[in-house]
Structure 1
Amino acid sequence: MTTPDQLASVRYLVDDVQEAIDFYTTHLGFTLRASAVPAFADVVRGPLRLLLSGPASSGARATPEPAVPGRNRIHLTVDDLDTEIDRLRTTGLTFHSDIVAGPGGRQILLLDPAGNLIELFQPASPPPATAPARS
């Protein structure tokens, strides 16, 4: 089991490892840690370690049923969702959803080149602190 000071790792199956490296490092601020293109790459952003497994990797072996594709996703917190959307659209990326807002914040879904979901999330601003009442 990992300890609290270790990276949290998520494995994404991708069709083209180099294309996935380029996508995550260019558009989403990940840094390449290791690669064995065309089979595998290891990229990080903060405490998230994303393992990109191509068709030639052992990690790409079939997932036992009843796996439901497309429901799981990595969740990246951003300071300004609108600015991130504009930045990514200017690079030619398209989104898989519209912005969804709820009590916790706003989010939008992006697809990587292999169809894996990435949620960009801007937390709701905390309410302003109120001064204690004076008597």
Structure 2
Amino acid sequence: MTETFVSIRYIVDDVPASIEFYTTLLGFSLQQDARPAFASVTRGGLRLLLSGKTSSGARAMPDGRQPVPGGWNRILLIVSDIAAEVERLRKAGLSFRNDILKGVGGSQILLDDPSGNPIELFEPAPAH
């Protein structure tokens, strides 16, 4: 089986709002639209599956646990100018979990999607 994308599933509260968020603000393209249950969006080699409450991906586990949005596992999107990207997204009314953190590998910040799923924006450090 040949895959052209790395696929990640996010459980979301509102599929249409998630489509709008990812396509309008983060440069994803809509791949599949099965509102209100499900959609998939792509960016580069990433396919993000947006599973609403009525999707198969959001069904309860045998022990009764229910998949919910949020947590700390996240997708990482590389940006070329993190400060400019943060400013653009703040002007669009979005909020972040933290401020920009700088480390030896680069700079990062965590943004929440409309359901509270984290997205890490990462600007790699310049190569020496």
Shorter-chain TM-score above 0.5: yes
Q: Distance in 2 between matches of 1:119 and 1:111?
A: 9
Alpha-carbon offset, residue 43 of structure 1: 0.2
In 1, Cα distance between the equivalents of 2:72 and 2:32? 27
Question: 2:106 maps to what in 1?
Answer: 105
Query: Cα offset for 1:109?
Result: 0.2
2: CA distance between counterparts of 1:62 and 1:31? 29
TM-score, with structure 2 as normaliser: 0.90
* CA distance in structure 2 between the partners assigned to 1:27 and 1:62 by the alignment: 31
Structure 2, unmatched stretches of 5+, are none
Equivalent residue for 1:16, pick from 6, 14, 34: 14
Q: Counterpart of 1:43? A: 41
- The TM-score with structure 1 as length reference comes to 0.86
> Equivalent residue for 1:62?
60
Identity %: 58
Q: In 1, Cα distance between the equivalents of 2:59 and 2:43?
A: 25
Distance 1:94 1:102 in 2: 22
Q: Could you say what the CA RMSD is over the residues aligned between the two structures, in angstroms?
A: 1.6
How many pairs were matched up?
123
> Which residue does 1:30 correspond to in 2?
28
For 1:124 and 1:114, the matched residues in 2 are separated by: 30
The offset of 1:52, in angstroms, is: 0.1
- Once the two structures are TM-superposed, the CA of residue 46 in structure 1 deviates from its matched residue by 0.3
What corresponds to 1:74 in structure 2?
Answer: 75
Distance, in Å, in 2 between the alignment partners of 1:91 and 1:42 is 23
Out of 44, 51, 59, which is 1:53 matched to?
51
Structure 1 counterpart of 2:19, one-letter code:
I
Equivalent residues in 2 for 1:81-96 (5 A)? 81-96=82-97
Task: Measure how far apart 1:101 and its partner are.
Answer: 1.1
Matching residue's letter, 1:118: I
Q: Deviations over 1:45-92 (max 9, x none)?
A: 000000000000000123577x9x512000000000001001101111
Which letter does structure 1 place at the counterpart of 2:9? R
**Aligned-partner residue type, residue 46 of structure 1:** G
* Whole-angstrom CA distance in 1 between matches of 2:92 and 2:116: 18
